[in-house]
Structure 1
Amino acid sequence: MSIINLSAYRFVGLDDLPTLRERVLERCLALQLKGTILLAPEGINLFLAGPREPIDTFMDWLREDTRFAGLEPKESISDEVPFGRMRVRVKKEIITMRMPAIRPEGARAPSVAPVTLQRWLAQGHDDDGRELVLLDTRNEYETDVGLFNDAVDYRIASFTEFPDAIAADRARFEGKTVVSYCTGGIRCEKAALHMQDVGIEHVYQLEGGILKYFEETDGAHWRGDCFVFDERGAVDKSLAPSHPSPQPSPQRGEGESLA
């Protein structure tokens, strides 16, 4: 039986976290799903695995709550469930940046579709003729597994280091179009908002992240595989498990997964 590995996130204000946690956990356990769901005042970040029917049943149930109706999950297939148990956790942020002024639940940063980014990369500039800079917002152990050709990689150990890295490197982005990217969209969305907040113009996030890029394109301009936060280790451009051996993060399984 094929296992559906599903990931999704949504920045949306949540104020009933303890009650919501219990409801979500109860539903996941009843459907025998495994994975991790993070809840915070700024939204939800989920990564689940299970057969098709219970996965779809859970998502249908979750979208009955209007706050989650806009969830757009990404999927990949594996032969086995890559999680050992089911966890639902309440946190201060669904992706930790420690920049309280950045509130993505209020407004999204501009995004660029994967097919558009691929075209920009092929032509060497955006549609307005500006030079393109790809900015990897992930941690160093993730970028060691794979990244876009010529991407800026700050070799950070934690996303909380990203604002300082940007502050020290602002001149690089003057007059250029910047596309921030991450595994599935959550980090690069916060990153793009932060860059806008400090006055960097022409900033986009890659819609759906690397995984959506693999899903909607042939993966051109990418080298290596994509690290994921579960027992698969990484996936290749076809979204199949590739099992590299990167150094694990202290927060492995809690940071982003495919979201």
Structure 2
Amino acid sequence: MTTYQTLLYYCYTPIADAEEFASDHLNFCKSLGLTGRIIVAGEGLNGTVSGTAEACSVYMETLHADQRFAGIDFKIDDVAEPSFVKMHCRYKSEIVHSGLRDPRIIDPNRQTGKHLEPADFMAMKDNDDVVVLDVRSNYEHSLGKFKNAVTLDIENFRDFPAMINELAQYKDKKILTYCTGGIKCEKASALLLHEGFKDVYQLHGGIIKYGKEAGGKDFEGKCYVFDNRLAVDVNSVNPAIISVCRNCGTVTAKMINCGNPECNEHFTQCDACGNELEGCCSSECRQHPRKRPYDGTGYYVKVPQPVNLVKKAAKLSVPQNS
């Protein structure tokens, strides 16, 4: 029986010729038969890849053999099947988009919050002088979060910097930041320090590592993940479901994307409403002419658009300047 794994990881490290590296790395991943999504930037790597246990082992060994990536902490999940359909490796300006590119403000290789291992995070999180801060987006913390955590009303991580003023009330507290795998905390904690917060920590390895090493104690609900699983269980100690169906309010942990591709909103929806609305967030989206067929999962693979041969031929026929 073939066994599969899904690897979640990131690494802040300078990568020269990052755009060329992304192209070469894509070919390497495809040669191993991996599927997944990797972002490459001059500041490092951010990826989730999935494949056979053997292919994942080769992938990890190869990256660890490169001095730039020797310190990567891979979070490994055993899965019944690959967690992606295709392999993407793209070059971008940041490996997690914050909108802040000035290294004098944010440079995780220079300054971040103190890294806490899961056991240390668990020991500190309920102290009176501590604030546990979720730096993820709304759709993520609505599905699951640490008990009593402070959450932010943000649609994307790039909205985090604008929320600093709302956090000023906690400047005399110890701030324990957390996210899915740790990557957002690197920049969030760096920004907090830059803005005058004195005692800032971050959960090393994020929610995923906390679940594996500390049993996920006091993480309520499920953890949103960026692959076709959409959500994974974390808490094996005192689990609870905190999310509700957007449409009827029934308790549910099922996270989907709206079937209307022009909406594509992430939200929780029970099976009954999913069937009634065909995986859409509203009746309006259900009536949209481009609505995707609902198969009960609410997960949709991006389908490449066909090449416009007429437009391509016209472009090629334009005479070039000599």
1:235 aligns with 2:232: yes
| 1:16 aligned partner, one-letter code | D
Give, in angstroms, the shift of residue 18 of structure 1.
Answer: 2.6
Q: Which among 201, 205, 213 is matched to residue 204 of structure 1?
A: 201
| 1:117 aligned partner, one-letter code | F
Deviations 1:65-85 (A, max 9, x none): 211111110011211111010
1:111 aligns with 2:115: yes
Q: Which structure has more RCO (C-alpha within 8 Å, separation ≥ 6)?
A: 1
Contact 1:145 1:246 in 2 (8 A): no
Contact 1:49 1:81 in 2 (8 A): yes
Q: Describe how 1:238-249 pairs up with structure 2 within 5 A.
A: 244-247=254-257
SS of equivalent to 2:37:
strand
Contact 1:4 1:51 in 2 (8 A): yes
Identify the range of structure 1 (69-78 vs 59-68) with the bigger mean alpha-carbon deviation.
Answer: 59-68
Q: Which among 185, 189, 207 is matched to residue 188 of structure 1?
A: 185
Q: Is there any run of 5+ residues in structure 1 with no aligned partner, and where? A: 254-259
Identity fraction in percent: 33
Name the structure 2 match of 1:63: 64
1:41 aligns with 2:37: no
From the superposition, tell whether residues 247 and 155 of structure 1 become closer, same or farther in structure 2 (CA, over 3 Å).
farther
CA-based RMSD of the aligned residues comes to 2.2
Equivalents in 2 of 1:110, 1:98: separation in Å? 23
Deviations 1:31-76 (A, max 9, x none): 1000011100111011100111111112212223211111110011
| 1:234 aligned partner, one-letter code | A
| 1:220 aligned partner, one-letter code | K
Structure number with larger C-alpha Rg: 2
SS of equivalent to 1:63:
helix
Q: Which among 214, 223, 236 is matched to residue 220 of structure 2?
A: 223
4+ runs deviating over 4 angstroms: 246-253
Equivalents in 2 of 1:97, 1:87: separation in Å? 21
SS of equivalent to 1:188:
helix
Equivalents in 2 of 1:18, 1:95: separation in Å? 16
Name the structure 2 match of 1:257: none
From the superposition, tell whether residues 65 and 94 of structure 1 become closer, same or farther in structure 2 (CA, over 3 Å).
same
Deviations 1:70-111 (A, max 9, x none): 111001121111101001100000000011231113344311
| 1:150 aligned partner, one-letter code | N
Equivalents in 1 of 2:256, 2:223: separation in Å? 11
Name the structure 1 match of 2:160: 162
Name the structure 1 match of 2:145: 147
Contact 2:9 2:72 in 1 (8 A): yes
Identify the range of structure 1 (20-29 vs 183-192) with the bigger mean alpha-carbon deviation.
Answer: 20-29
Give, in angstroms, the shift of residue 247 of structure 1.
Answer: 4.6
Q: Describe how 1:79-118 pairs up with structure 2 within 5 A.
A: 79-100=80-101, 101-118=105-122
Give, in angstroms, the shift of residue 250 of structure 1.
Answer: 7.0
Contact 1:43 1:105 in 2 (8 A): no
Equivalents in 2 of 1:188, 1:111: separation in Å? 10
Equivalents in 2 of 1:45, 1:195: separation in Å? 22
Identify the range of structure 1 (174-183 vs 102-111) with the bigger mean alpha-carbon deviation.
Answer: 102-111
Q: TM-score, normalised by structure 2?
A: 0.71
| 2:9 aligned partner, one-letter code | A
Contact 2:135 2:185 in 1 (8 A): yes
| 1:36 aligned partner, one-letter code | R
Equivalents in 1 of 2:256, 2:144: separation in Å? 11
Q: Is there any run of 5+ residues in structure 2 with no aligned partner, and where? A: 237-251, 259-263, 267-298, 301-322
1:31 aligns with 2:28: no
Equivalents in 2 of 1:91, 1:105: separation in Å? 18
